[in-house]
Amino acid sequence: MILLDGKKTSQELKEEIAAEVTAMRQQGQKVPHLAAVIVGNDGASLTYVSSKVRSCEQVGFESTLVRLPEDTTQEDLLKEVAALNANEAIDGYIVQLPLPAHLDEEEVLLAIDPKKDVDGFHPTNFGRMALELESFIPATPFGIMQLLERYKVDTSGKHAVVIGRSHIVGRPISILLSQKGDFANATVTVAHSRTKDLKALLNQADIIVSALGVPNFVKADMVKPGAVVIDVGITRVEDASRPKGYRIVGDVDFEQVAEKASYITPVPGGVGPMTIAMLLKNTLLARRRAQS
């Protein structure tokens, strides 16, 4: 079994990005600038956003954190989005989801300039990705594709079963795996909450991508010997023995499944760190595209 080490791979990616930024600085070019908008005080969202901002600093990007109060109106949030669209200093930005319940996420995402949409959630980017045109690929599926590429995992003609059909993970990764190209060309089945006999389906899979968010859902008896197992799930489970009072658990019963898999991602330290690295990659791409 080979561990698909997202911590190590994301570190390598960050070093490559940092080297490019250093060269940009030396050539007197503008360095990438990422902004992140967060509305309210949700603990997990604040943690994610601060680690995104910290990562920008690590690679030499400029970063701006826009913190808005919980009771921000839709109109005020849209004004903020319009200001970021117009601000030439900002190359890319994200609006951290989920937004408080009174706000309309779809309207906000649609208002983001696709050229600055480094999360790749705007329909223009999603459509362009599906058509294999230049776009921003959502960071989590982009990170999975990078892991497969960097570990040279053979995906061509393999049967991939993706569990989950969300717009940010399941659906885009199913499109990317089925596209023409190296480390793609897979035959993809998308499973979801209405899928019948998932166990039988998973037992036929050469590649499993699990993105449903149920701890230890994928057990060893669901996995074919030699399968490639990508665990996207991140669930906080209460654990009084940990300093934070919780631990992070994936969708896959790692101990058991690792014994059968050819490649497997751990949680934490697999897909999670890759997601942040790919957000940085998208921001660098946004700067390069603005430049040319």
Backbone angles phi, psi at 92, to 5 degrees: -155, 155
Indicate if 119 belongs to the active site: yes
Residues 188-217 that bind ligand NAD (CB under 6 A): 191-193, 195, 198, 211-213
> Count residues contacting ligand NAD (CB under 6 A)?
23
Backbone angles phi, psi at 35, to 5 degrees: -115, 150
Is the preceding omega at residue 215 within 30 degrees of 0, hence cis?
no
- Of 5, 91, 117, 119, catalytic: 119
Structure tokens at 38: 């967060």
Helix, strand or coil, per DSSP, at residue 95: strand
Query: At residue 68, what is the residue type?
Result: L
Residues 99-158 that bind ligand NAD (CB under 6 A): 140
Indicate if 30 belongs to the active site: no
Q: Using CB under 6 A as the criterion, what x/- string covers residues 161-180 for binding ligand NAD?
A: --xxxx-xxx----------
- Of 5, 14, 91, 96, catalytic: 96
Indicate if 26 belongs to the active site: no
Residue 202: CB minimum distance to ligand NAD, A: 10
H/E stretch holding 265 reads none
- If the CB atoms of residues 118 and 191 are measured against ligand NAD, the closer one turns out to be 191
- Of 52, 91, 251, 281, catalytic: 52
Q: What is the 3-state secondary structure (H, E, C) of 144-200?
A: HHHHHHHCCCCCCCCEEEEECCCCCCHHHHHHHHHCCCCCCCCEEEEECCCCCCHHH
Q: List for the chain the helix, strand, coil content (%; round to 5).
A: 40, 15, 40
Residue 191: CB minimum distance to ligand NAD, A: 5
Residues 243-272 that bind ligand NAD (CB under 6 A): 271-272
Binds ligand NAD by CB under 6 A, chosen from 234, 257, 280, 285: 234
Residue 175: CB minimum distance to ligand NAD, A: 14
Residue 233: CB minimum distance to ligand NAD, A: 4
- If the CB atoms of residues 24 and 208 are measured against ligand NAD, the closer one turns out to be 208
Cα dist from 110 to 71, 128, 261, whole Å: 21, 15, 40
Best CA proximity match to 276, nearest among 164, 138, 145, 176: 138
- If the CB atoms of residues 124 and 189 are measured against ligand NAD, the closer one turns out to be 189
Count of CB atoms situated within 10 Å of the CB of 200: 9
Catalytic residue numbers?
52, 96, 119
What is the contact surface with ligand NAD in residues (CB under 6 A)?
A: 140, 163-166, 168-170, 191-193, 195, 198, 211-213, 232-235, 271-272, 275
